[in-house]
Chains A and B, each alone.
Chain A
Amino acid sequence: MYSYNPFRSWTAEKPEPSTKKDFLKLSDLIEFFFIAHPKSGTREGEEHERVMFYYPENETIDKKTDITGFAIAIVHFTDDFTNKEDRLLSSSEYDHRYVTSKNCFEIVIQIEKGEFLMGIALNRQSCLKNGYFVHLPTVKAILAKTYETYRLFYGTFISLFNQNLETFKERIGTFFAHYLSILRVNQIPFLDLFSGVDFMQLSSLEFLSVQCLVNRCIEEFSCIEKIICLYQDQLMQYSVEKSDLIVLFRYLTQNLIPNALQNELQPGGAKKKSISESHIGKFITGSIDFFGKENGGAENEGPTFPIVYLTSNENANGLPTLDAYHLVAYRALNTTMCMFVKTVTPEFLQQLEDFLDPELCKLGSMIGDKVSNAPRNAQNDMSFYFIYFNPDSLSLKTNFSSPYSTSSSTNVPLPPKSIYKLACETLEHFFDEKEEFVQVQVKDESDWWVVVKKINERILILFIPNTAPSTIVDIHDTVTNIVKTYFANMFII
Chain B
Amino acid sequence: MQVWILSEYGKPIFSSCGCENELSDKFALVHTLVKRYEAWGDDLLSLQTKSLFIRFCRRSPLILCIISKQPFNLSVQLDMVYDQVVSILSKTRLEQIYAKKNNFDLRDWLTDIDKRVDACMKGFNEDPVIFFSGFRILPLAYTDREFLHNTMANEINQTGADHVVFGILVAHRQLVVMVRQKNFNLNATDFSILISFIECHSFQIGQSENFIPICLPHYNPDGCFYAYISYLWEGKGPCLILFSNSGFKELDPSYTLKNIRMRFEEKINAWEKEKVIHLKNSLIHPDSTIKMETGDLWHFVYKNMYMDSSQICCSSPQKPWITPEEIATLNNGPLVTQKTAMIIAEKMLRILRQDEKRVFFLIPPGVLNG
Chain A residues at the B interface, C-beta cutoff of 8 Å: 66, 70, 73-74, 77-78, 80-82, 86, 90, 95-104, 136, 428-429, 471-473, 476
Contacts and interface: CB of A to CB of B under 8 A. Distances in A.
A99 B29 contact: no
B67 interface: yes
A95 B51 CA distance: 11
Contact of B342 (A73, A101, A471): A471
A78 B47 contact: yes
B42 interface: yes
A98 B47 contact: yes
Tell me if B's interface is mostly helix, strand, loop or mixed.
mixed
Contacts of A73: 29, 32-33
A86 B51 CA distance: 9
Nearest to A439: B338
B47 A97 contact: yes
Nearest to A475: B338
Interface string B13-36: 000000000000010010011001
Contacts of B47: 74, 77-78, 97-99
Interface string B60-76: 00000001000110000
The 6 closest A-B pairs by CB, nearest first: A102-B43, A98-B48, A100-B45, A103-B42, A101-B42, A100-B46
A102 B52 CA distance: 20
B40 to A, nearest CB: 8
Contacts of A104: 42
14 contacts: A70-B36, A77-B47, A82-B49, A86-B51, A90-B50, A95-B49, A97-B48, A97-B49, A99-B48, A101-B44, A101-B45, A104-B42, A471-B342, A473-B342
A81 B54 CA distance: 10
A103 B40 CA distance: 10
B233 interface: no
Interface in B309-340: 325, 338-339
B255 interface: no
A78 B42 contact: no
Nearest to B343: A473
A292 B45 CA distance: 66
A194 to B, nearest CB: 18
Nearest to B53: A98
A210 to B, nearest CB: 39
Contacts of A473: 338-339, 342
Contact of B51 (A77, A90, A103, A476): A90
B342 A472 contact: yes
Given A73-B33, A102-B45, 8 more contacts: A77-B26, A77-B29, A80-B26, A90-B51, A102-B43, A103-B41, A103-B43, A428-B71
A134 to B, nearest CB: 13
A101 B43 contact: yes
Contacts of B325: 429
B37 interface: yes
A476 B48 CA distance: 34
A476 B338 contact: yes
Contacts of B338: 472-473, 476
A429 B40 CA distance: 32
Nearest to B26: A80
